[in-house]
Amino acid sequence: MTTGRMQIRRKPTRGSYELADALAVLCEGLFGHLAFIQDDHPYCIPMVHGMVDETLYLHGSAASRACRIAGSGAPLCFTVTLADGVVVAKSMVNSSLNYRSCVVMGAGRPVTDPDEITVAYHAVVDSLIPGRSGDVRAPTDRELKKTAFLAMTLDEFSVKARHGGPVEEAEDVGLPHWSGVVPARIVFGAAEPAMDGQGPVPPYLDPYVRPDGGNRS
């Protein structure tokens, strides 16, 4: 949803307020960064996350400051950024990055209902390892007490992206410098079994791939 504070003012043509665009970035990203204020000091903490419909679940430790503050109703900002390419221009000023980013703002709430905790656990595990939640031991009561989940709804968000090659100044076009794009991809290797790994590599890890939100360089 577009609000005044989510309005993209710098190069607004690169912005989007479509839910599908936000979900594409959030679902492809392995993790994001949660920003909050405590005692007049800013903090920004990396956290893994998962999505269920329009609810964003963040996973952390029950003892962590981030989860304690974020679950108190304090204003939060969660950001996921995907790098798609390095833009090599003929000038320093036009050198850039192709990227997709999603910024979500709002208040977080602690997840305390046992059924919703199970949903959140499945969402986060499957976000990191698609298909894994149905092929792994469930958490014990002791493990659940040590874990915290926070929920944010996608009430306020914006998406911004850059695609394509360098945008050159007219006077730079003829300069004898190479220009173009170096595509960026996260490449995962073959799954390596642990010493006590059982059986063959599961099909959801052979190969391991991320959801593809498209719109790359």
Question: What's the angle, vertex CA 62, arms to CA 61 and CA 63, rounded to 5?
Answer: 85
Question: Do strands 41-52 and 109-110 pair parallel, antiparallel, or not at all (unpaired)?
Answer: unpaired
Total domains in the fold of the chain: 1
The pTM of this model reads 0.89
Q: Which tens digit of pLDDT belongs to each residue from 104-116?
A: 999 999 999 999 9
> Per the domain annotation, does 211 fall within a domain?
no
Domain around 139: 4-162
> Per the domain annotation, does 200 fall within a domain?
no
Residue 174 CB contacts under 8 Å (≥ 6 apart), including other chains: none
Residue 63 CB contacts under 8 Å (≥ 6 apart), including other chains: 146
> Per the domain annotation, does 178 fall within a domain?
no
Q: Which tens digit of pLDDT belongs to each residue from 14-63?
A: 989 999 999 999 999 999 999 999 888 999 999 999 999 999 999 988 88
> Per the domain annotation, does 190 fall within a domain?
no
- Encoded tokens for 90: 């003929």
Cβ pair 38, 69 in contact under 8 A:
yes
Give me the average pLDDT of each 10-residue run along the chain (217 residues): 77 89 95 92 94 94 82 89 96 95 94 93 94 91 92 94 93 93 92 85 91 66
What is the CATH number for 132?
2.30.110.10
What pLDDT, on the 0 to 100 scale, is given for residue 1? 57
Task: Write b or e for each residue in 154-191: b if 16 or more Cβ atoms lie within 10 A of its Cβ, otherwise e.
Answer: bebbbbbbbeeebebeeeeeeeeeebebeeeeeeeeee
> Per the domain annotation, does 169 fall within a domain?
no
Mean pLDDT of the chain: 90
